[in-house]
Amino acid sequence: MRPTRRHVVTGAAALAGCSRAPATAQEPPVPDAPLITRAIPSSGEALPVVGLGTWQAFDIASGGPEWAQAREALATFARSGGRVVDSSPMYGRAEAAVGALAAELGLRPSLFLATKVWTRGREAGLVQIEDSRRLLRSDVVDLIQVHNLLDLETQLASLRAWKESGRIRYLGVTHYHEGAYDALEAVMRAHPLDFIQINASVAERESEDRILPLARDRAMAVIVNRPFAGGDLFARLRRLPLPGWADEFGATSWAQVLLKYVLSNPAVTCAIPGTRNPRHVLDNLGAATGALPDAAQRRRIVEAVAAA
């Protein structure tokens, strides 16, 4: 059985010894301070630095315990100051779930809804964008991104037209793998994008040298996917108690250490860990409060994970 975030929590609590166990062994506290925000360079609009990803977690049918859990997670997220909710047509039923739950909870005005276009051809792209708007139950979608650079020029042209007409507020592109960085760099240099979305984590640091500096130079907001390397980091840390030095930057769990590492890069606008667990939502949002690691503390995090 592959270790999960839950196993990291319980294992760390058992092995804590003289080191402190993660706070997520107990109920995570609701953030008692305003969440750290960063500005979208193209507009100056501020967003909280931790959002909510929906891949797999919100690919659920209405009704039943999974739906109730997702409802509580989204309500907890918004109540605690979260705004950015990221989805995609390739995430199955996630867009429909987000739209229905946000409408049921009356949350749409407070959320920043981001989704993607992921198809070939102008007409197919327009149909998909319209479907996303319908499923999200939002006349205006905050951000639509060309997913994995698929049919980029065609879909970007449509997104520009939609932005000009006021049906979307921002546009961008995404990818999730180092193998696409050459193509992504070329797109970033050729197009005036509001956002890019890219992978970054303690285990996947390649974007720190290439993509994130270019995003700062080009005044593009950055959404980070895979901040836990798809869960692989929890598998590596499952038997490692939270070190005492995590207190130096206010981290009370390994999830917060990993997120604070990502957020300490000033080019990052928002990270979007995916979950429908309300406890994990609160734990993740805790990373958006207090101090962020400095350069020496970042190196310590890298070394701790490498030794795990």
- For the chain, the domain total comes to 1
Query: Contact 222/171 with Cβ under 8 angstroms?
Result: no
Query: Residue 18: inside a domain, yes or no?
Result: no
Tokens of 70: 């997702």
Range of the domain at 266: 45-307
Task: Cite the DSSP H helix spans in the chain.
Answer: 5-14, 64-79, 94-105, 122-135, 152-164, 181-190, 211-217, 232-237, 254-263, 278-286, 295-307
Query: Residue 153: inside a domain, yes or no?
Result: yes
Quote the pTM value. 0.90
**9: pLDDT strictly greater than 50:** no
The pLDDT tens digits for 27-42 are 677 777 799 999 999 9
The pLDDT tens digits for 91-133 are 999 999 999 999 999 999 999 999 999 999 999 999 999 999 9
Query: Residue 290: inside a domain, yes or no?
Result: yes
Query: Residue 289: inside a domain, yes or no?
Result: yes
Query: Residue 24: inside a domain, yes or no?
Result: no
pLDDT at res. 5: 53
Q: What is the domain-level CATH number for residue 184?
A: 3.20.20.100
Query: Residue 270: inside a domain, yes or no?
Result: yes
Rounded average pLDDT over 224-239: 92
Query: Residue 34: inside a domain, yes or no?
Result: no
Can you tell me which residue has the tokens 């869960």? 231
The pLDDT tens digits for 159-201 are 999 999 999 999 999 999 999 999 999 999 999 999 999 999 9
Query: Residue 36: inside a domain, yes or no?
Result: no
Can you tell me which residue has the tokens 């479907």? 131
